Structure 1
């Protein structure tokens, strides 16, 4: 079939990269793409002792897809992720195989066991390839299948492996139908949606630090591409976009703005703030603006949910202050007002999440720079490209400030942390638990 040979070549390349990564755990994987050397830190690939272990893995993957609402509609309204898959041993050793049964309704995956020389197939890269056939109604290895395989890796919390596979497809001349920039934003969006939907803490595989690391790697790749391309080839120029924070009079707008600022700092975006705190205008490269908006939409949802839970628990009542009772003409000790506790909680939450995003960004940048060679005993070419990008954004923001007559410095509102230290500490603890890690839902128990 068309594309089959190229798909197998790409996935052999992908499997080889995963093998290289497994031999040097903890070290970034370096892959040459054209004239540049890209770094990846792929998630650990599960391996299996026999087809029965592969069956258990497939069951967990399908259960995870169903639990997180990752539907794979076959066009008739049937969710293929809800259809069971049976894994059986295969007599031949040279290939794995998948077929779809309608009576009973199920998928059947045939994997050669180790005894007949099938050790090569007892790995997630092969099993997930066959599972992608189950989830994709189209036959063969065309664009729809490849897009399904990439999405499957993303949906089970392996976005870096998806990035690697996407790179392998492109190196072998395959078009996935989605350009690199859009696919990165799709991955980030799926990670954020999973973080919001997942309630089982043992299955929190889509976390914000992973999204930030993906965003940073994408930003670095674009910066290097801009620096090495001719002026006529540069596809992206700085731009600005206004984002609604909330309607006038709504509580906590300044704390929402604070969260936007923390996210923007981690993504090379400058911010102008309306005096009412109802809107902000973001200045930077369009791909970075998209990342900031996606992160903010998800993080603010989580921050508000954590704040609501804190107030419902009544823990904020432990914070007390002296209040003058005019009727009784005496000072009384009372719990702080709920709005004060919420403000303190939000402030600490935003600050701590900002620190975690910044740490994820710094680590991703350091990894990329370390993989680059110095230029004449000076900064690496990646460092130079990143500096050039930052200068371009700063210059653009300065020009927009002059053209739009933007003046003054945002001072926010008075801190509520001193009035509600317990809520401030609770906000920090909740932010530390926010979905910012890199745990894997599938095979986490291993």
Structure 2
């Protein structure tokens, strides 16, 4: 199947996932979309290993993916979502320290799938977090804050309890959402590859060759240094927001978006 036809089929499944109000149907369409993407990748990998010498063999590429403009709040969790999607679709990433741009390394079809899934899941994540904030349930929680007071010639630090701020609730919600999406897609990918190995023995070896090729490409192309710290859990925590974000991630409809790498490095350019 050509890349265009593959993406059309995935897009159709994702649209069905987004249009249904039944969470069970949405899950089924979501799993089908990820299964098709993973299966297509397997087929492409096998095809690459048997390509006739007269045909131009597909090779990994680097692509710039813009997460948002510098200064925009909330980009860290947006980037976290893309990275979670990329991880389940054989795409390795570097990211700028500002979380504004991701450098994706992988085969073009895999990156296409990632961008398609991300565009849909990002909308779902933002809408779900907005709905959660309007519910106001996070206001029932408090968090410990350090308050600095001047007493005479010295500063005194005390720990006091303060209500959870809306920005804290949003970050906790979206971080948990992204983590759950990553887990769901990774599970689907694992199941699909296991089934592919049963039906087509030798698939695992072909996939291993694909991973090695991507690793070599990344090591010779990437100019990143250090580690991106944006995937860390927010310092201030809201258990209610984290539970709600995880629940929304479980119920999310996979309509036009993939996953991310576990330990991307920061770009210094």
Q: What range is the shorter-chain TM-score in?
A: 0.7 to 0.9
The aligned counterpart of 2:60 is: 238
TM-align CA RMSD: 2.5
Q: 1:245 to 1:319 in 2, by over 3 A?
A: same
* Secondary structure of 1:282's aligned partner: strand
2:168–2:236 Cα contact (<8 Å) kept: no
Equivalent position of 2:190 in the other structure:
362
User: TM-score, normalised on structure 2?
Assistant: 0.84
Distance (Å, rounded) in 2 between the aligned partners of 1:264 and 1:270: 7
1:270 is matched with which residue? 92
d(CA) in 2 for partners of 1:310, 1:417: 20
The residue matched to 1:232 in structure 2 has which SS? coil
Cα offset, 1:430, TM superposition: 1.2
Tell me how far apart the structure 2 counterparts of residues 417 and 424 of structure 1 sit (CA, whole Å): 13
Structure 1 unaligned residues grouped into runs of 5+? 1-178, 374-380, 438-446
Whole-Å Cα distance in 2 between the matches of residues 341 and 205 of structure 1? 26
Q: CA offsets, 1:237-273, max 9 Å, x none?
A: 2111101101111111111111111111101111111
Q: Which residue of 2 aligns with 1:334?
A: 162
Alignment match of 2:72 (pick from 239, 250, 265): 250
What CA distance in whole angstroms lies between the structure 1 residues aligned with 2:54 and 2:206? 17
Contact 2:178/2:249 (8 A) holds in 1: yes
* Residue 433 (str. 1) matches residue 255 (str. 2): no
How far apart are 1:206 and its partner, in Å?
6.8
Write the distance in 2 (CA, Å) between the matches of 1:406 and 1:322.
36
Structure 1 residue 321: deviation in Å?
1.7
Find 1:420's aligned residue among 226, 238, 243. Answer: 238
Partner of 1:313: 135
Match of 1:123 in 2: none
Kindly state the Cα deviation for residue 184 of structure 1 after the two structures are TM-superposed.
Answer: 1.2
| Aligned mates of 2:23, 2:44 — CA distance in 1 | 34
Q: Distance in 1 between matches of 2:96 and 2:195?
A: 37
Q: How many residues align?
A: 248
CA contact (8 A) 1:303 1:349 kept: yes
TM-score for the superposition, normalised by structure 1: 0.52
CA–CA distance in 1 between the matches of 2:205 and 2:196? 12
Larger Rg: 1
Residue 351 of structure 1 is matched in structure 2 by 179
Work out which structure has the larger RCO, using CA pairs closer than 8 Å and 6 or more positions apart in sequence: 2
Offset at residue 335 of structure 1 (A): 1.9
SS in 2 for 1:207: helix
Q: Which runs of 5+ in 2 are unaligned?
A: 151-155, 256-269
The answer on whether the counterparts of 1:240 and 1:282 sit within 8 Å (CA) in structure 2 is yes
Are the counterparts in 2 of residues 344 and 423 from structure 1 also a CA contact under 8 Å?
yes
- Deviation track 1:349-370 (CA, whole Å, cap 9, x = no partner) reads 1111100000000000000001
